Every structure is written in C-alpha cells, then in structure tokens.
Structure 1
Amino acid sequence: MIRKKRLVHREADGRRIPGTWRHAFINNGGRYYLTDLFIYADGIVDAWEPLTLAEFERKLACGWVATELPEGGQASAHALAVWKFGAPATWHTPEQLLAEVRDTVEELNGRPDSTDRCLAAVDRFMADRTEANRLAVREAYFAIPENVRHYALGDMDLKDWPLRVLAAGVGGLDEVAEEEVGREEYEEAIGYFTERQEWGSAAGPDADGGLSSVHIPHSFPAASDTPDKSALRNTYPAPVAYEGTVYPTVTHAYWALSTPDPAARAAITAADTAGTARLLGEEAARHGDWERTRTAVLGRLLRAKFDQHPELAAVLLATGTAAILYDDMDDPFWGDNAGRGRNWMGRLLELTRAELPAPAGQAPEPRAPLGR
C-alpha cells in the first residue's frame, strides 16, 4: 500500500508524474548500497537511473537490484554508514519485488492491483460457482506477491486462509498448511465469503439500536447505466458542478478545494483518475483551516453530487435507514476500515441521505441516527 509520507513526483514533458519510493539495495561491483527506489505512475522506476519496467526486470534478474545479500558482504548507506552483513535475511525474490512494483504502478494510477483483481474474481465465482471461475480465483490469488497474500482479505484472524482453500478446491493442496483441502473446509470458506458479501446488506439487528448496515468496500467503480452501491464512493465517475467548476468526481473536487494554489487546483481538476487527483492533492499546499472545514466541504460536495444525479440519489435512498460503513484504506478518519476507523464518510452519506427528498409517492422513512 502506498504511504502518504512517501509521495514524490517528477516532471516529464511538462507533466507532473506522481510516484512513491521504497528502500532497496544496489549491487555495484560487489558492494551493496542502500538506496531509494522511486516508482512512478507512468511505469518508470528510478534505481540510480530511470528504467522502464522491462529494464527494471532485467536489473532484478542479473542481481544489480539485489534481493539476496551475502553473509560478509560489504554494505554502504551514502554519507551515513558502512557495515558488513552478518546473517542477512531478505523478504523478497526478484519476482515478488517486481510484482509489488507493478502493483504500486496500478495504485498510483487508481487502477485495481493484484489483490483487487483477486477479490473481484472471488465475487465472480460467488455469483456463478463454476470450476472455470474457481480456477480464475486460483490464478488471481497466485498473482498476488507471496509476501503480501496474507493481507488480501484484511482479516487479522484468518489472514488469507479462505482464499487459499478456495484456490485449492476440494482435494487440492493448501500450499501454506501443506494439507489437502476437505469438503468441510471448502464449505466453510464458501460460507466465509457469503457472510463477507452479506455483511454490508440487511444483516439484522445490531448493537446500535436494531439498524442494519451497508458496507461500501474499497473499489475502483466504473460508470454504469444501472449503478449499484459502488456509486456511493467518492471516486465514482459522476461529474459534480460546484461553485462554477465541473469536477470529474467528488474526489477531484475535494482535493482541488483543499489547496489555495490555483495551478495545483487546476492540475487536480484535470487529473486523469481520482487516484491521481488524490496524489496531487496530498502533495499540494493546504488551506490553513482545512482540517477544521474539510468535513463541511465534503458534505456540500456530496449533496451536490446526489442533487445533480437523481439515479445515484436513488441508490443512496435505497439503503433505507441502514448505517453506512465506508472503507478508505488510506485514511482511518474517513473510513470504517473493519471497525478500526472513524467512518466520517459513512456518517456524511447518512446525513446526505436524510436531507434528500423521498421519491414521489413514497412516504419518507424514519431516519437513521448520524453517529454509530
């Protein structure tokens, strides 16, 4: 996952290319140098020199970007220290590091990474449980870098166990547990994904006064003639006119309005994707009172979105009185994030829903309380 404090950019052909960085070792003539590996949205990787992804793959294959460190090897961090490796342990193979870099490029562009693609394959399987769809889950699961697979479900207890079982199938091998998957285990995994899908729908009374909940998972929604609950995400491609400017998404508008810099605001508004708009916004100068006013600004943007798009307002109204749980993996202030966040986006959606007029001929339902 991209960390906010690791956001960088470079200029290319008059464009500002967002990126991020991570640590890596360069093997230069048998000496290992701890350095920064810069990864950019256009697929350029800077490892002491700009490289395409294909060139970076070759640097990994020949060991110039090192994923193995020899005992007794000479190491250096420029202007900081020199040392020898004692009993080095590394966490990547060349293939794993390349896969993580590819995922980072997808994230920087606001596109699904390997984990997102795997979870989408699970959804397709659950909708149509054919062997071909299960095998597609298996392929997508093993496309996730091995060292991050156990984070794929965001489940602190089971880790990726349900995914491993589904990928293996009845009679197949769970390669982590090194055990054959039985029918009972397989059905338990299917039950897990069934509950996961139903978690956000009317799940019955809860501790907050008998209200059901609707889960808005982290996703990369696309415009649709028949929008579903993904249309409630701020990244949904629904243009929003606000104070004389039309923004491609609520995300574009929120980050553009966060900065007093006219050039930065224009660049954010023109960003190709909501993910790029967010990256540019996080790098730009911020209004001094933004922390105090941002919730009110986002509330007004949501009202504008649903006022201007009745078909999306219908999706929000269809949630009834349910509490809305909104995932934002990068920000626990806005996201519920499996109960670990403050869920302010969910609360604002509930407030917006309460302010929307009921469809013609329908009596308004009792409103859900704003807090949870």
Structure 2
Amino acid sequence: MRRRTFRTADGQRVEGVWRHIFTRNGDTYYLADLIVYADGAIDCGVGGLTDVAGLRGYLQSGRVATTLQDGARGSAHDVAGWRFAEPDAWIDPDMLLGEVADELDFLNGRPDSSERCLVAVQTYLADPTEDNRLAVRDRYLAIPEHLRIYALGDMDARDWPLRVLVTPVDAHLDADPDEEVVTADVLATAIEYFRDRSLAAAVRETRTPADGAEHAQAATLTIYRGRQEHPGTEVLQNGWRATITINGRDYPSVTHAYWALSTSDPGWHDRIAAAPKGDDAAALAEQAPRRAGWPAARLAVMAVLLRAKYLQHPQMAQTLLATGDARIIYADLGSAYWVASRNQGTNWIGRLLEVIRSELAVAEAGIPLPATHDASPSASP
C-alpha cells in the first residue's frame, strides 16, 4: 500500500492510501481499489464508504475477496476479462485487516505493528528477561504474516533475527522440525544483529551532512481551499488578495496577474485584471486568446509573480519563511501542472514556493549573492 491519495470531507483534506483488491459479484471478480483514509473511512470498491468492521463483514461474505475461485470470471476496470486458472492468493482476510490497521496507524502518525515490535526488541535488549522476550513474540505475531519479512527493512536478513528472538532456546524455529534449532550461539548472533543495528541507527541519527539535514525537519504543509491545517498560511494561496505591481501595473492577486498576462489582447487583459475574484479572472481568461508560446513561458511568469508577491509583502514573506524546510504541497483547485491533485500533479506552485522561500532565506542570512531575477516580467499587456 502507501500509494497516497485523499478525499475532501466538510472542506477538509483527509489523507489516504490505496491498494488493489478484488470484489466479487456473483461468479465474477472485479479488480478494484481498497482506499483507507486517516479518519477510519474505507472505500472497498463496492460503493460508498465503510469502516474496519464493515470491511470485515465484506470479507466474511466474500464481497471483498482474498480467495479466488478456479474457473471464475475476472474483470479489470471494463478493459479486460478472463477466467482464473489455478489462482494463487497471497493473503487471507486477517492479513488484509492487519494491513489496513497498519495503514491507519501510518496515516495518523502512530507506530505500526512492525515498529511496535522493534520497540519491544529494544526493551528486551535492555533487559533480556523471559517476560520481555514473550512481549517481543506477541508483537511479532501481531504483524500481518505477509509483512513480517519486511519488518526489519533488511531483505538479506529478512525476519530471521526476529524469529530467533521469539523462539525458546533449544526449540525449532516456528516450531517446525525442518527448521534450525535455536541454540545459545544462534540467539547470541541474533542479539548481536540488533545491537549492531541500534548502533548504526544511532550513528545515522547523529551524523548530519556538512550543509544540513538530508530530509525536511518540518512537517509537510498542504495549501488548499478552506480552513488551513496551520492557521495563517492561507495567505500563501495564489488567489489571496495581495496587490502586486508588475511593470507599473497593479493586480489584486497573483492569480489575477497570471491570467491577465497570459493574453496579449489589451481589452481582455484589463477585464481579467479587474475581475472581482481570482476564480473570476481564471474564468474570463478561458475565453481570451493565449499569448504565442505561453505554455513554454508560463512557469517563468509564475515564478516572477510569486517572487513579486513575497518581495512586496514582507509579512507574507515571513509567513513563508516560518514554514522552515517543510515540503509544500499546493492542493488548491487548478491544473495538475500547477497543483498536487489526486494521485497526480506536478505541484509546480508548491515547488516554486520552496525555491522562493530559500531565496528569502538567502536575503535574511545576508549571503552575498548577485541578484539574478527581476520581479517584473518583460511581457506587457
């Protein structure tokens, strides 16, 4: 899973993840998407939203299928059809439900079953009592069976060190007589693996590249219509009323300026610039002729307009700077070229905001760099 998506509920963005599943209707299995949302809502591909209990019911009834019947019909989004021949399913209902529980933990910033198991391992290493070993065993068995080999993120070791820890000394792994016996030496090897792993993790956490952290330290910021996750960041929307001056001409917002400059017709330019709201400016621009070469030029135009906004409005510049090194996802309405929409979108506005934030940081830090950008595009209406 962990293919990201979202839905909008009561004007709020609700994060989600999805995976493929099969739903069953009569003797036909349909390839569908199982979508799990952070608020616990689940789309099983059978119409409407349910929850974990509802998903369990669909699994029990066979409406959501983890077992495929030999010879049954299959269909994929109305583009392909077949009959199953010797189908081999990898998971059962309990595994799927465990996977969903992990995804809900992930979406809500909680440790999932694998992470909880590794916490128990650390407790055992600090105090290797039988009770703590049994706690590791319980946490290990709580990981969905098909995901256990990924718990350590080490496909060479797979889950062998965990299996050793949860097996009593002198017993066979997994209580299988065909598996190796866990001797004191085998247990010591597994423990050494975890101690080396902990040491390596501690080194990684304390080692910082010379020019700063490799990954964002601040939480991702999503900008969209309606109430913001972080109050005050609504000013970062392009349609926010913030007059910018370009080539001596005032525009009520970045959106107004962008669409007005997209046409070389003076009459349309003035009508768009005078529109009551940004949405009105965009609607008018759809009727106006585009400048020749606009698709190739639009990214540079947007960059100049955004730069002008934050250079001409210092308080808004401080709001942008206050986002730190957060990744900015611009999820407002608009073309997928500019925004990050459902499972697609190049998010150019978000990326430009990050660049301009860095330029503002250069000025704030007093780093002596030449001015390479002019906040006034040469295009004139």
For Structure 1 versus Structure 2, the TM-score category normalised by the shorter chain is: 0.5 to 0.7
Deviation at 1:107? Answer: 1.2
* 1:234 lines up with 2:217 in the alignment: yes
* 1:130 lines up with 2:134 in the alignment: no
Q: Distance in 1 between matches of 2:171 and 2:158?
A: 19
1:70-107 alpha-carbon deviations (Å, 9 max, x no partner): 11011112321111001101110110011111111111
2:116 and 2:139 in contact (8 A); partners too: yes
Q: Distance in 2 between matches of 1:282 and 1:255?
A: 16
Deviation at 1:279? Answer: 11
1:260 and 1:286 in contact (8 A); partners too: no
Q: Which residue of 1 aligns with 2:282?
A: none
Q: Distance in 1 between matches of 2:344 and 2:122?
A: 32
2:216 and 2:327 in contact (8 A); partners too: no
* 1:214 lines up with 2:229 in the alignment: no
Deviation at 1:183? Answer: 1.1
Q: Distance in 2 between matches of 1:141 and 1:299?
A: 48
Q: Which residue of 1 aligns with 2:181?
A: 180
Q: Distance in 1 between matches of 2:75 and 2:333?
A: 43
Deviation at 1:216? Answer: 6.4
Q: Distance in 2 between matches of 1:34 and 1:69?
A: 12
Counterpart amino acid of residue 138 in structure 1:
R
Deviation at 1:184? Answer: 1.0
Query: Would the alpha carbon gap of residues 247 and 107 (structure 1) be closer, same or farther in structure 2, given more than 3 Å must change?
Result: farther
> Which one has a bigger Cα radius of gyration?
2
1:261 and 1:285 in contact (8 A); partners too: no
RMSD of aligned Cα (Å): 4.0
Q: Secondary structure at the match of 2:39?
A: coil
- Percent sequence identity over aligned pairs: 40
Q: Distance in 2 between matches of 1:197 and 1:155?
A: 14
Q: Distance in 2 between matches of 1:298 and 1:118?
A: 43
Q: Which runs of 5+ in 1 are unaligned?
A: 202-212, 218-231, 264-277, 305-372
1:25 and 1:34 in contact (8 A); partners too: yes
Q: Secondary structure at the match of 2:349?
A: coil
Corresponding residue to 2:28 among 25, 28, 31: 31
Q: Secondary structure at the match of 1:51?
A: coil
Q: Could you state the TM-score of these two structures normalised by the residue count of structure 1?
A: 0.59
1:19-64 alpha-carbon deviations (Å, 9 max, x no partner): 1211111111222111111111111111123111111011112221
Deviation at 1:243? Answer: 5.0
Query: How many residue pairs were aligned?
Result: 256
Q: Distance in 2 between matches of 1:280 and 1:83?
A: 30
1:187-241 alpha-carbon deviations (Å, 9 max, x no partner): 110111111111245xxxxxxxxxxx43469xxxxxxxxxxxxxx98268xx9x9
Counterpart amino acid of residue 25 in structure 1:
F
- Aligned runs of 1:122-271 on 2, under 5 Å? 122-175=121-174, 178-201=179-202, 213-215=203-205, 234=217, 243-245=317-319, 254-256=326-328, 259=330
Q: Distance in 2 between matches of 1:74 and 1:61?
A: 20
Query: Would the alpha carbon gap of residues 234 and 298 (structure 1) be closer, same or farther in structure 2, given more than 3 Å must change?
Result: farther
- Aligned runs of 1:1-372 on 2, under 5 Å? 2-3=2-3, 7-47=4-44, 48-49=46-47, 50-175=49-174, 178-201=179-202, 213-215=203-205, 234=217, 243-245=317-319, 254-256=326-328, 259=330, 285-287=347-349, 290=352, 293=355, 297=358
Counterpart amino acid of residue 214 in structure 1:
R
Q: Which runs of 5+ in 2 are unaligned?
A: 208-214, 220-229, 233-315, 335-339, 366-381
1:250-276 alpha-carbon deviations (Å, 9 max, x no partner): 5xx6134x549599xxxxxxxxxxxxx
Q: Secondary structure at the match of 2:56?
A: helix
Deviation at 1:245? Answer: 3.8
